[in-house]
Amino acid sequence: MLEIDGSYGSGGGQILRTALALSAILGRGFSIRNIRARRPRPGLMPQHLASVRAAAGLCNARVRGGVLGSTELDFEPGPIKAGNLVVDVAGETGSAGAVTLVAQTVMPIMFFASQPCTATLRGGTHVPFSPVYEYLAQVVIPFIRNLGYRAEARLCRAGFYPAGGGEVLLRTMPAQPPGTDRIVLAEPGRRKGIRIVSAVSRLPVSIAERQLKRLGMRLKNTAFEAEVREVPADGPGTYLYLEAEYERITVGFSALGRKGKPAEAVADEVYEQFAAHEQTGCALDPHLADQCLIFLLLRNVPFTFTTSRVTGHLETNIWLLNRFLPDREIELQVNQDRTGVVRTGCCK
């Protein structure tokens, strides 16, 4: 079994999520210690435990240490099986744990089943420290389509912190041969358009309107399409999402509202993320850079891409992927301004 130190690098749940997916797909067991050691509350939280159980269910794995709060876990996978999966992050604790983070574990595994799969993911869809639903559906899934991964996601109900109660339906087809023999994304190409969603649940719609108005002011003379939504959810919440489509790539940025945080501050947060990315001229936004790696590497397609910011998650994911697949080594070049270039050794 591969021994993994969960305190490496960013020391968060990303190591576990990626390890579970790789283990199931490659058929290689692992033992992880010091799970989430660098977090204020170390060990397995509900969303991490949900990922463990979901991955185990998809590949008939033997698991030791799969309990709340555990800092150690052994995972021995069996064959991947197709089916209909239900993952309820809130099942035991009422948690608003992020279903988009659970998707980072289950979606790669589902692609390597012999038949189509569905997963119903219940919990938080728009919660702190995780991608919002729109990012999964409109940035990640379109990006991996050219690699032979076909999936669709549908938001059945939004889930905000702390109430949770959201639901996302995810469908996948078995992975097909990639539509390209090489991925080169040094620059994004010409910007084709910007789309914005400003949404609220159980709050005055004027909050969403203020978010949108402020973001429009910050964008100045930049044209965009926009939609104000009132979304069904168990609890109050608000979010703002900006999606920028370029000739070669689509990227996304979001922020969440909370009590005491002005709508204008939410808009400023989104604008500053977008502006910081665009001024670099790099192709991938900071989050897509780490989330796409497992899909790229598993197809054994030579690739190189630039990213507007090298994050701890990206560095940690590269370290882990190189441990599971040392013959497909990923190289990372970090520039002084923290932009970066990521490539396989055979694509320079």
Q: Is 48 a catalytic residue?
A: no
Binned at pLDDT 50, 70 and 90, residue 345 comes out as: low
pLDDT at 37: 85
223 in a labelled binding site: no
For residue 220, what are the contacts with CB-CB under 8 A and spacing of at least 6?
none
Domains in the chain: ranges and CATH: 2-179 (3.65.10.20), 188-278 (3.30.360.20), 282-348 (3.30.1370)
Question: In angstroms, rounded to a whole number, what is the distance separating the alpha carbons of residues 100 and 130?
Answer: 7
Mean local confidence (pLDDT), 42-52: 91
Q: What pTM does this model have? A: 0.95
Is residue 156 within a helix (H) or strand (E), and if so which, with residue range? Answer: strand 151-157
Binned at pLDDT 50, 70 and 90, residue 199 comes out as: very high
Instruction: Tell whether the model's pLDDT for residue 1 goes beyond 70.
Output: yes
- pLDDT tens digits for 279-322? 999 999 999 999 999 999 998 889 999 999 999 999 999 999 99
Give the CA dihedral 81, 325, 292, 21, nearest 10 degrees: 30
291 in a labelled binding site: yes
The tokens for 249 are 């790539």
pLDDT at 94: 59
pLDDT at 269: 99
Instruction: Tell whether the model's pLDDT for residue 346 goes beyond 60.
Output: no
Please give the radius of gyration of the chain, using alpha carbons only, rounded to the nearest integer. Answer: 19
Binned at pLDDT 50, 70 and 90, residue 179 comes out as: confident
Question: In angstroms, rounded to a whole number, what is the distance separating the alpha carbons of residues 290 and 19?
Answer: 14
pLDDT at 186: 97
Mean local confidence (pLDDT), 312-337: 95
242 in a labelled binding site: no
Mean local confidence (pLDDT), 185-196: 98
Mean local confidence (pLDDT), 249-261: 98
Mean local confidence (pLDDT), 155-163: 95
The tokens for 144 are 């991996």
104 in a labelled binding site: yes
Beta carbons of 261 and 288 less than 8 angstroms apart? no
Mean local confidence (pLDDT), 239-249: 98
- Average pLDDT across the chain, whole number: 95
At residue 200, φ and ψ (nearest 5 deg) are -140, 160
Beta carbons of 161 and 237 less than 8 angstroms apart? yes
pLDDT at 9: 87
pLDDT at 238: 98
Instruction: Tell whether the model's pLDDT for residue 251 goes beyond 70.
Output: yes
HEC-encoded secondary structure of 168-221:
EEEEECCCCCCCCCCEEECCCCCEEEEEEEEEEECCCHHHHHHHHHHHHHHHCC
Mean local confidence (pLDDT), 240-250: 98
Mean local confidence (pLDDT), 33-40: 89
The larger pLDDT score, comparing residue 2 to residue 10, is at 2
pLDDT at 148: 94
pLDDT at 78: 98
Mean local confidence (pLDDT), 238-263: 98
Q: DSSP readout, 58-88?
A: HHT-EEES-STT-SEEEEE-------EEEEE
pLDDT at 93: 56
Instruction: Tell whether the model's pLDDT for residue 181 goes beyond 70.
Output: yes
pLDDT at 25: 98
pLDDT at 95: 67
**Catalytic entry in 48, 126, 277, 313:** 313
